[in-house]
A and B are shown apart, each in its own frame.
Chain A
Amino acid sequence: MNIGNITENYDITIIGAGHAGCEAALACARMGLKTLVLCMDLDSVALMACNPSIGGTSKGHLVREVDALGGEMGLAADECFIQMRMLNTGKGPAVQSLRAQMDKRRYHERMKAALENEPNISLRQDECARILTKNGSVSGVLTALGAVYACRACVICSGVYLNSRVHTGEYHRDRGPSGLASAGLLSDSLRELGFELRRFKTGTPPRVSKRSLELDRMQPQYGDVPAPHFSFLTESADRVQQPCYLTYTNEATHAVIRQNIDRSPMYTGAIHATGTRYCPSIEDKIVRFADKDRHQLFIEPEGLGTDEMYVQGLSTSLPRDVQEQMLHTVAGMEHCSIMRYGYAIEYDCIDPLELGAELKSKRIPGLFFAGQINGSSGYEEAAAQGIYAGLNTALFVKEEEPLIIGRGEAYLGVLCDDLTLKGTNEPYRMMTCRAEHRMMLRQDNADMRLTEKAYRTGLISPVRYDRLMRKKAEIDAARSALSAYAAPGEAINTLLEARGSTAIRTGTELFSLLKRRGVAYTDLLELFDLPDISPESREEIEAEALYGGYIRRQEAEIEKLRSLDGMLIPDGVDYRAVGNLRTEARQKLAAMRPKTLGQASRISGVSPADVSVLAVYIKSLMGEA
């Protein structure tokens, strides 16, 4: 194919400007590289096409991790939220997570402005038609409007737009979310480059008019006061907040769905793609959990300047009239008026087993992928992959070592490790139970886990770095002050009894008092000579005291993981020559070509004995060399 003259030169092209694309672009630009961002519709930059909220269990962790790496999502969310709530407060610090309701229009504008204000970013409305390669490596992109942009690397963040098709009952159209256009050109280019494309599916519920709801018949849910915030940079985020509302489906709702189930495209066979078990449609829930007599619905405002409300829990692709009928059976929604109908959407994605740990194609140098194209679901999962792929693309262009974040370091590490080593057969959603070391991977210590590690990228601003150093110094000071002993006395014993704990009779280390359930740092601060530290530092110290044994155990496991990940497998290993591997392991290893023994050990079908055999084999190779 004859490609015309080069229109412009860039270092990196980001394809798509959703939650992954925005973070990827900002990371590349902030690392000093000339970055082009292609987006099919600039009014849909950072569009929250599904629910108007950011965070939630484990997703809130991801937002904090993106922030700790110098990303934008946390800051933007802190500016644009209309409700903020810490979830799971009664279940222990490891599973606490922030969730924020967004003004989704403002969020889009805020994120678009961030891109516009970055001197190294050119934001352009156009569709990528083809990835260009030279000698097998990325050399540029060709757009639908015929422009040729030369670049050394690309991050594909196409979200759910590739060959997307939406379904509402008998209505089927080749569209993207919310009536936007589908991207029809890039899939063929990816196939040409040797990627096998798969079809995944997700869905969204109807949006209803707030004035048509009887909100006083629902249970309101308010934000926390004062409002907590995501970013380690945000000082205070207090503001007037908007409530959400709780209501429930009932037998009548379920009867409507059951009567019309044959009209659902999931059941008529119009949809062939794989949906996520985490975000099931209401028709799926009724079929799969037939014994549940009601399902919770959570009514969320879409923003301050709109009457639209999002009906979380009612994702559906049933026909228009069925959507009306079923909503009208719900308490407080009997007369509700639907403004946008729910739909299911299918789209092309790649098999993430094609990717190395840093989300880079194993075959085509310079080609990176992030977000739903990798088979994940969710804004936060996308943003986390976005910044990770973005900063690694920049490191690639600069010819520096990649920054690998492991399972023991972040949810982001678990996410990318799972995707690239285990793969996924459905849109992958983060869950706290996927993280083996979650006592360590808390949302409060994301900065302690990641900020220093990412320092060499240049994404960490001096302010952010100074804050972390201050926090660490505070924690160290508190730790050493807590090694003092408390003598038994009336004041301390009154406190302990008031906290439901037993009195002390001998001198006791303050730190061990903090281990007792119900005893807080602030309690001890009143009685002993301790430094007055920030709430964030207190959280860290209290978690250390409460979970000491677990944290030490997990640290030891992480150390083991790290040492396995430190053992590199040479590039050209011929697995057929390793006689003692079991056949299944040999095939998997040959197909996946892991870079380290640690990665090899996490591939399903590779046993510990296989890993041992491989270790010995590699050692013998090195002996020969």
Chain B
Amino acid sequence: MNDTVFALSTPVGGAIAIMRISGPDTRGVLARLFDGRVEHRRASFGRIVDENGETVETATVAFFEAPHSYTGEDMAEISIHGSAAGARKLSQLLTNTGLVRAAAPGEFTKRAYLNGKMDLAQAEAVMDLISASAERSRRAAAMQLEGRLSALVRGLYEEVKSALAQLAAYLDDDSAEPEYESSGIADRIKAVAEENRKLISGGMRARVLREGARIAIVGSPNVGKSSLLNALILRERAIVTPIPGTTRDTLEEPASIEGVPVVFIDTAGIRETLDEVESIGISRAKREAGAADVILLAVDGSRPVNDEERALIREILSAHPQNTVAVLTKADLVRVNETEAGKLASGLSGENCVDAVSVSALTGEGLDALKRLIAERIVPAENEAAVTNARHIAALEEAGRSMEAALCRLEEGLPDAAFEDLRAAMKAFAHITGAEDMNEDLVNEVFSRFCIGK
């Protein structure tokens, strides 16, 4: 347990982000990336610099010397401005030092306990924390990586495993005349590395942090989409009239929810229409819905839903069940139609597992609840899950570096060294996909594909 770990100890997107580091290399890490003074029980102001000595941002660093710290080890808290992108950049810099790794769930507390910083009565609570955190981050990983992204990482893992099996067969093949070759392995690794790069740079999480999560407001005409937008961004951005079809084109407006950048997209109400301009707007609306990270499906809560609306609701829900939030608008008028709205809400949330919330753009009722629902979809639910996420990105980057190294070693004619790098890449992917026993998995792959042995 004498390595050094780090974790973000504040929720993503607060005003301040605090990164905690604990372990024997804490001073070494700070020496690499912080130019301020490092003294016991002293907070100092300074600059965070990258590998090239360029200033990344300013920070306050508090340092605690072992054993006089929370964990009982050398420990530091780096406080920076609270943008998610800043926190991410800092965790990348930390990882790049090669001296620290992302902490496991509950690890700080565990270290504190093992170093005698807590009394016996707290042991039970610590174990609770570790197992609960592990379970939560496992679930978070499963949920965040649901669908496409998860399949992609799994695919990369399988591809690396397959290349590795080929290399293993080649290296372990002791037949009199080599039956297996290493040719073609480099090309396969290059392809995986390229996919991995795309995943890192174009991956959902990275893009969200860089460009903001895209949140499309869609629904039938005149259900209050534009009013909802204005209420969410707290100003009169969209033109609001009682006339259906007022919004003809999509409208984008940047904002921030719980500190994470978002872009709200107001869209044209979707209906059958002969108006050419309006129908272009409608097809754009559908496209935006398809590309959005979160869809706010606006339904007028003050009147019964008609057949056309019902069809639209079904269409959106069946196409995007994971990331849709149903918003019942005009909650200030709703009393006349409570049962209808309630039925819709429970029907939606029960059957399709879609969250529904009643909102009044006029009174502001329900807006906070809506923001929370949005945040849940773009910001990992809590602190621990956010760390998990940083860990995933770190894992993908680690896999990328390992594959680059493997390619160099193959080039140099050192396939045995390439194997070690490739195994590190596989391990990094397994970190995300949670493969059970990587070694056994690899041996099985070798045996199933290659006829090796006497």
Contact = CB atoms under 8 A, between A and B. Distances in A.
Contacts of A612: 104, 106-107, 110, 130
Contacts of B64: none
A92 B454 contact: no
A523 B452 CA distance: 37
A313 interface: yes
B171 A88 contact: yes
A609 interface: yes
A616 B172 contact: no
- Chain A interface helix/strand/loop/mixed: mixed
Interface string A60-95: 000000000000000000000000000110111111
A493 interface: no
Interface in B97-154: 104-107, 110, 113-114, 120, 123-124, 126-128, 130-131, 133-135
A99 B173 CA distance: 13
B179 interface: yes
A612 B108 CA distance: 11
Contacts of B106: 609, 612
A269 interface: no
Contacts of B442: 433
Query: What interface size band does chain B fall in?
Result: 35 or more
Nearest to B132: A580
A303 interface: no
Interface stretch (A30-38, A285-293, A380-388): A285-293
B454 A51 contact: yes
Contacts of A295: 451
B443 A433 contact: yes
A504 interface: no
A581 B131 CA distance: 7
Interface string B420-452: 100100000000000011011011001100011
Contact of B131 (A277, A580, A605, A620): A580
B291 to A, nearest CB: 37
Contacts of A91: 170-171, 415-416
A85 to B, nearest CB: 9
B277 interface: no
Contacts of B186: none
A620 to B, nearest CB: 4
B454 A615 contact: no
B275 interface: no
A436 interface: yes
A246 B179 CA distance: 12
A623 B120 contact: yes
- Chain B interface helix/strand/loop/mixed: helix
Nearest to B415: A91
A289 B450 CA distance: 8
B413 to A, nearest CB: 7
A237 interface: no
B174 A313 contact: no
A276 B446 CA distance: 13
Contact of A607 (B2, B134, B176, B452): B134
Given A609-B130, A616-B113, A97 B175 contact: no
A429 interface: yes
A485 interface: no
Contacts of A315: 454
B171 A57 contact: yes
Interface string B1-43: 1110000000000000000000000000000000000000000
A546 B417 CA distance: 9
B168 interface: yes
A495 to B, nearest CB: 19
A99 B120 CA distance: 57
Contact of A433 (B124, B179, B419): B419
A422 interface: yes
Interface in A449-492: none
A279 interface: yes
A604 B414 contact: no
A57 B447 contact: no
A604 B440 contact: yes
A546 B113 contact: no
A547 interface: yes
Contact of A439 (B131, B168, B417, B453): B417
A432 interface: yes
A617 interface: yes
Interface string B164-189: 00001011111111010000000000
Nearest to A581: B131
A289 B135 CA distance: 42
Given A95-B171, A615-B110, A620-B120, A296 B177 contact: yes
B110 A289 contact: no
Nearest 9 CB-CB pairs, A to B? Answer: A609-B134, A92-B416, A620-B123, A580-B131, A278-B453, A94-B416, A433-B168, A277-B447, A580-B127
6 contacts: A296-B179, A432-B172, A433-B168, A436-B439, A609-B130, A623-B120
Interface of A: 51, 56-58, 87-88, 90-95, 97, 99, 219, 221, 244, 246, 276-280, 285, 288-289, 292, 295-296, 298, 312-313, 315, 422, 429, 431-434, 436, 438-439, 517, 546-547, 550, 554, 560, 563, 578-582, 604-605, 607-609, 612-613, 615-617, 619-620, 623-624
